Structure 1
Amino acid sequence: MFSDLKFPLRAVARFCLAGLFASLASVALAQSETEDFYLEMDAPVAAPVDVPVEVPVPSYTPMPTLHQSLPGVVPVFVPELSLDQLGVADVTAGIDAARNFCSSLPDEYRIDCLAEQLERVAKSLPKTAESREMRKILHQTSDKLEKVVRENRDRSKPRISAKSATAPAPTPSRPQPAPIATSRPLKAVKTEALPTAEAEAAAILEEAGILLLRSSTQSQETSQHYQAVAEALDSTALLLRS
């Protein structure tokens, strides 16, 4: 009789062992998946990510104004100078000074010098409606010149910083101007690519002059400002073509 039960008992034992191993494997798999999940997280969270959490926001108490916090003190607001008040002489003088400054540097650094200096002139313009287009054109011109330098850069030569030994000519609003200095290191252009790069940079400056003339459709005085700056850019283009 026991010999007849031998085969069913073996089958039941194998079945139980298989079930036990399957249970242990599922537990190990679940544990490994849980560990992998938390290993990928930067930090534990207090609530599931799909559950909104309300964060208390403190009530806003407005700060006292200047005349409220300091009785007897009346704030004075200084209006920004317009292009007419700033004077076109300051803008053209800035471009002329940039041209003279950059021409004193080695030829391979002149294009990036002009890009940096034109950006400085653009930032000095008043943020008014009449100078908006001029500021935009000068910014774009600076960016285009920088692109020429990037495409023809000589990485074997170091970046340089420069400062003029003397100050530029004074203007009505700047009777004692400071010497010109670069605000960032200048990059060099490859010697073999210099003629092509200078021709491209000169064309960019001439295009900026044309854009300024097309934009001078405002008042007669503002139009004269745009025309004067366009002439200054044309003179700068001659530096690169010489």
Structure 2
Amino acid sequence: MDRIAGFRNLCGIVGPYLIDCLAERFEALEKDLAGLPGHEPLREILQETAQDLRQIARENRDPSKPRGKARSLNSAERSYRPIVAVAPERQAAATTKALAVLEETQTKLLRSAENSPARSIVRYQRIAAAIDSSKVLLRSA
């Protein structure tokens, strides 16, 4: 679950690559949960969120910018796959769509948390906090 800290550490510094960076972080978080029994609903939500964010980034890609891997300032965090930049003229629309995806994700997480074992509630809360942090990043970009 250390990947949650990486949302802000890594994606907060990538500018036009932010949306795809968030998608990559949700992908990594979903993979972290792969070995934990009873987290299938949570994994599905994270996987869908990652796919939706990645699609937004792809649809609004800036062809003048290269794909690249993100690295945090201290190089402790890095993306596992190349990420794409959103074109400046499409940034506002892409951000609006990404915020809607994150809002929907929070709703799904809250519904799933109600039906999950008590030990899983903390994970849902930490992921919801990461989503709040992600929304702040998007709004400030």
TM-score by length of 2: 0.88
Matched, 1:235 2:133: yes
Return the index of the structure with the highest Cα Rg: 1
On the 8 A contact 1:164/1:181 being kept in 2, the answer is: yes
Q: Mapping of 1:1-242 within 5 angstroms?
A: 90=1, 93-105=2-14, 107-166=15-74, 179-216=76-113, 217-242=115-140
Compare 186-195 and 219-228 and name the one that shifted more.
219-228
Higher relative contact order (CA 8 A, sep 6+): 2
Query: What is the identity percentage for the equivalent residue pairs of Structure 1 and Structure 2?
Result: 40
Aligned mates of 2:46, 2:56 — CA distance in 1 = 16
1:219/1:112 CA distance change after superposition, 3 Å: same
Q: Structure 2: where are the runs of 5+ without partners?
A: none
SS for the counterpart of 1:130 is coil
Comparing both structures, which one devotes a greater share of its residues to helix?
2
Consecutive aligned runs of 4 or more in structure 1 exceeding 3 Å deviation: 126-129
Aligned AA (1:235):
S
Q: Structure 1: where are the runs of 5+ without partners?
A: 1-89, 168-178
Q: Report the CA distance between 1:155 and its aligned residue.
A: 0.8
SS for the counterpart of 2:68 is coil
Aligned mates of 1:235, 1:104 — CA distance in 2 = 13
